[in-house]
Structure 1
């Protein structure tokens, strides 16, 4: 038979099938003449009908359940069945039920006896009086993934007389990991598939379908038509509908039950008892349906986190949320969790419907925790760094004061150090300790504050010290002082990064005054991570930035400005961020930098307050998930994490340019001078109204890879970083000997939401 003939046969059979919207069976009671005639016509007209007649077994089962104390033999059962029929022909007894979608004709006991026999095994977990009361209850279920299991369990127990089902979606193959139905139902409306399953279980149970889902237009019908719902079960994915359902249910005093299919969470809101109860327990504040309508799955994540609680979700779901719209299209659900949750939600709804004292709140029936124990403690992000004054005590005296150097009075000393601590530092670690001794100011590297796997040999901390030194020089010039700076003045002592001598008049070897105008920008300089606009740098701005950098001998500024170059460096920086996040130690170092609340930021006055990161709500939710390395460890095991690259890529999409400040050699003195070049460029950009955003992961990762031969990096991270390096070298004119001091974004951006704080001068200044 050729393909065309097959297609014709399939099409003709589909045309004769039941409409996709049909979910109600037809009933024929042959004891009634009209029904007997209708049944005859049906059998004559439809040759595809399959007949299922087990009425003898049903009658036998019925009489046995009615005589529970008697041990009935086959003859006893036959006698009792005969008495029950009282002469009526068995083929005409009860009801014949026709299911048009499957062409099945089933002979059943009629409704009263069917319900009696089908619920007999509920006794006495559900008493007869309770079963009768439940037959008068109405339960609505919105969302038929988890909701299908809820509805089917309610139908199994017959814990409602009417079920109202709402879902606008059709069945997809990807739904069949958690929705119990056949593959022949694919593309069928979920409400229809569920209603058919219920009808095939219990054709007498009243089911009302809303295949368009719940909308603003029909919500009143869903809640009230045919009588007010006694319980509303919310299992929909649409956040705006979740909010609308609760607002409407609260207004009509209808209790709401929700199951999340993660950790067995059952959420109960007894609006019937608490008419002024905050929606979703107040977790979403004054969030309105309008604010969340039409959001993508990815953009829903922060609101989902608000609703179910970031710290309350399972480890695997946390890890999976990082992968939403990366390696998975939406958040995952397992059939076991859905079935378990459906049963729990149905049980809760039944007890509410019976008037049992179920309180509002959140309840967890976490099988993984109950059966196999807790998941364990989150991986530690590292303790706060130890304070630095002990460094000064162990450092010994500063080198002797130079002839002619002036003493600094306390007020002037304080102003100079305040300027110094206004400098930038990686992760705002502020790795400086200032020691004033006689007529000498010493700048020490407090390595305990800057030490991290990402900062090879402390070079990044030294860059911060160089920037701080530049500020001190500029501030001293503003005070009318000349300054001589001696980097690393003591042989073999790398903790003493520099000493400063101040003079009341010009002196040989003192710092030049060509850039003194930058002093006014010291208090204004800050990191700006806000999204900006990709507009080209003006030629005079480009020249000013280069001049500022190259005023330090040997320092160079490389700029990427072509769109293709920016796209590539965005991809590379994002990949570097992913490597840093997925490696255990660098993740711990990064999390140590972050201050998660304003109170913590104010108390510590170091690190990166999360508000300065300018994250979108979605990115912030994802970043909070990333706090727990156990979730990232799963992501790494799965080969995922591409979503971790997105924030850097978004940042570069609005860059005017990406710059790299370098020096030709990679000694600590070069990084110190590089820090001074960084500060000169940054202060210049501040005066020009150009936003600066350091993005330093890659250069310092490469430094460890090249000069440290990958020490401390796992093999997978080192191999991936090597691949990134090859691409990076096509963008910048550097080699393995180059000190890559700072990689940063330049953009035109609006004002920042918050600025990083600095530790008080009294915490970082020791006067001997």
Structure 2
């Protein structure tokens, strides 16, 4: 029979991750759960310093905490404790939940990155406040940017510049293609990566998908597509780490997951437009434009709004495949 701690892992693995790499492993020991980075699933081109990998661990951690609270358990978190032989996040569980997370818990299986079209409807001020207040990490700053306000125009330009830079880089395109699952057979066999259906593509053989991505997808066209998607959205939300280290990266993930679970509970969709945070020279220019303090880094940029339709969910590996 599974322990209560083991029952939390399937909720943790519903977390988002870069290219849906799912770069985590878990171990359970009585009342403790450890989350380890799986460096075999890192993205050396788009994420050379692994900050996005550790953001993904923070997302999984937050899902686990929400699910624990739903079970009436409080979670005490230690990030990279010195007494552990390997770098990990250690979660100790005890009786007595700290808060009511029922709405967030229900959102875990519903939350998805929806890359489709949004309808441009404005988000109510009360819903925006709820999302901002969901950030429980003082180490993370959130900056909302309403679509249509003049201050969003430079951000859209940064998205365009970074998108063009990425799709002009053969190594970036090759890494992206390696994580796209072009057919249902690939999805079923791998249970990770970016499913063609989630990207809005028809299922095709891998050779054809690779040819389309390398020959037909053009940098300017992709930049146009991303700009159009932003302008059809309601809001951009930028997540800024006050320091650039593993603990702050994990906190960005925790903050992001709590915000998008709140958004999901309110019927608000989200998708990443993270390109200017991924291209390091452009990230520096973005930080300067925002007037950030030395050390602070803009690490996640998402668009929010009301999706015209739901897309198929990305696959997840079962919990037994990520357990040590």
Q: 1:513 to 1:745 in 2, by over 3 A?
A: same
Correspondence for 1:645 among 216, 220, 223: 223
Structure-2 residue corresponding to 1:470? 62
Q: Would the aligned equivalents of 2:80 and 2:89 in 1 still touch at CA under 8 Å?
A: yes
Structure-2 residue corresponding to 1:497? 88
Q: 1:735 to 1:448 in 2, by over 3 A?
A: farther
Q: Would the aligned equivalents of 1:454 and 1:697 in 2 still touch at CA under 8 Å?
A: no
Q: Equivalent residue of 1:544, what SS?
A: helix
Structure-1 residue corresponding to 2:241? 663
Matches within 5 A, 1:355-394: none
Asked if residue 575 in structure 1 is aligned to residue 166 in structure 2, the reply is no
Structure-1 residue corresponding to 2:118? 532
Q: Equivalent residue of 1:749, what SS?
A: coil
Instruction: Report the Cα distance in structure 1 between the residues aligned to 2:104 and 2:211, rounded to whole angstroms.
Output: 41
Structure-2 residue corresponding to 1:302? none
Structure-2 residue corresponding to 1:752? 310
Structure-2 residue corresponding to 1:460? 52
Matches within 5 A, 1:294-373: none
Q: Would the aligned equivalents of 1:489 and 1:496 in 2 still touch at CA under 8 Å?
A: yes
Q: 1:528 to 1:498 in 2, by over 3 A?
A: same
Q: Would the aligned equivalents of 1:459 and 1:668 in 2 still touch at CA under 8 Å?
A: yes
TM-score, L = length of structure 1:
0.39
Matches within 5 A, 1:156-305: none
Once the two structures are TM-superposed, the CA of residue 441 in structure 1 deviates from its matched residue by 1.5
Instruction: Report the Cα distance in structure 2 between the residues aligned to 1:700 and 1:515, rounded to whole angstroms.
Output: 32
Once the two structures are TM-superposed, the CA of residue 751 in structure 1 deviates from its matched residue by 2.8
Structure-2 residue corresponding to 1:687? 265
Once the two structures are TM-superposed, the CA of residue 566 in structure 1 deviates from its matched residue by 3.9
Q: 1:736 to 1:597 in 2, by over 3 A?
A: farther
Instruction: Report the Cα distance in structure 2 between the residues aligned to 1:626 and 1:425, rounded to whole angstroms.
Output: 24
Instruction: Report the Cα distance in structure 2 between the residues aligned to 1:496 and 1:519, rounded to whole angstroms.
Output: 27
Once the two structures are TM-superposed, the CA of residue 575 in structure 1 deviates from its matched residue by 2.6
Once the two structures are TM-superposed, the CA of residue 579 in structure 1 deviates from its matched residue by 1.2
Instruction: Report the Cα distance in structure 2 between the residues aligned to 1:417 and 1:554, rounded to whole angstroms.
Output: 26
Correspondence for 2:179 among 584, 587, 593: 593
Q: Would the aligned equivalents of 1:462 and 1:675 in 2 still touch at CA under 8 Å?
A: yes
Once the two structures are TM-superposed, the CA of residue 535 in structure 1 deviates from its matched residue by 2.3
5+ residue gaps, structure 2: none
Once the two structures are superposed, residues 618-666 of structure 1 have per-residue CA deviations (whole angstroms, 9 ceiling, x without a partner) of: xxxx9754533xx58xx9xxxx842231221121120101110112111
Once the two structures are TM-superposed, the CA of residue 695 in structure 1 deviates from its matched residue by 1.9
Instruction: Report the Cα distance in structure 1 between the residues aligned to 2:187 and 2:245, rounded to whole angstroms.
Output: 34
Q: 1:655 to 1:736 in 2, by over 3 A?
A: farther
Once the two structures are TM-superposed, the CA of residue 571 in structure 1 deviates from its matched residue by 3.5
5+ residue gaps, structure 1: 1-408, 507-511, 706-720
Instruction: Report the Cα distance in structure 1 between the residues aligned to 2:212 and 2:201, rounded to whole angstroms.
Output: 14
Q: 1:598 to 1:503 in 2, by over 3 A?
A: same
Instruction: Report the Cα distance in structure 2 between the residues aligned to 1:533 and 1:590, rounded to whole angstroms.
Output: 28
Once the two structures are TM-superposed, the CA of residue 733 in structure 1 deviates from its matched residue by 4.7
Correspondence for 1:742 among 266, 279, 300: 300
Matches within 5 A, 1:594-613: 594-613=180-199
Once the two structures are superposed, residues 157-180 of structure 1 have per-residue CA deviations (whole angstroms, 9 ceiling, x without a partner) of: xxxxxxxxxxxxxxxxxxxxxxxx
Asked if residue 672 in structure 1 is aligned to residue 250 in structure 2, the reply is yes
Q: Which has the higher contact order (CA 8 A, sep 6+)?
A: 2
Asked if residue 584 in structure 1 is aligned to residue 175 in structure 2, the reply is no
Q: 1:733 to 1:535 in 2, by over 3 A?
A: farther
Q: 1:735 to 1:591 in 2, by over 3 A?
A: farther
Correspondence for 2:5 among 407, 413, 417: 413
Q: 1:519 to 1:463 in 2, by over 3 A?
A: same
Once the two structures are TM-superposed, the CA of residue 735 in structure 1 deviates from its matched residue by 4.6
Structure-2 residue corresponding to 1:696? 274
Q: Equivalent residue of 1:740, what SS?
A: strand
Instruction: Report the Cα distance in structure 1 between the residues aligned to 2:89 and 2:151, rounded to whole angstroms.
Output: 38
Once the two structures are superposed, residues 188-229 of structure 1 have per-residue CA deviations (whole angstroms, 9 ceiling, x without a partner) of: xxxxxxxxxxxxxxxxxxxxxxxxxxxxxxxxxxxxxxxxxx
Once the two structures are TM-superposed, the CA of residue 486 in structure 1 deviates from its matched residue by 0.9
Q: How many residues align?
A: 319
Asked if residue 552 in structure 1 is aligned to residue 130 in structure 2, the reply is no
Instruction: Report the Cα distance in structure 1 between the residues aligned to 2:286 and 2:75, rounded to whole angstroms.
Output: 43
Once the two structures are TM-superposed, the CA of residue 531 in structure 1 deviates from its matched residue by 0.6
Instruction: Report the Cα distance in structure 2 between the residues aligned to 1:566 and 1:518, rounded to whole angstroms.
Output: 29
Q: Equivalent residue of 1:682, what SS?
A: helix
Correspondence for 1:614 among 192, 200, 205: 200
Instruction: Report the Cα distance in structure 1 between the residues aligned to 2:191 and 2:5, rounded to whole angstroms.
Output: 21
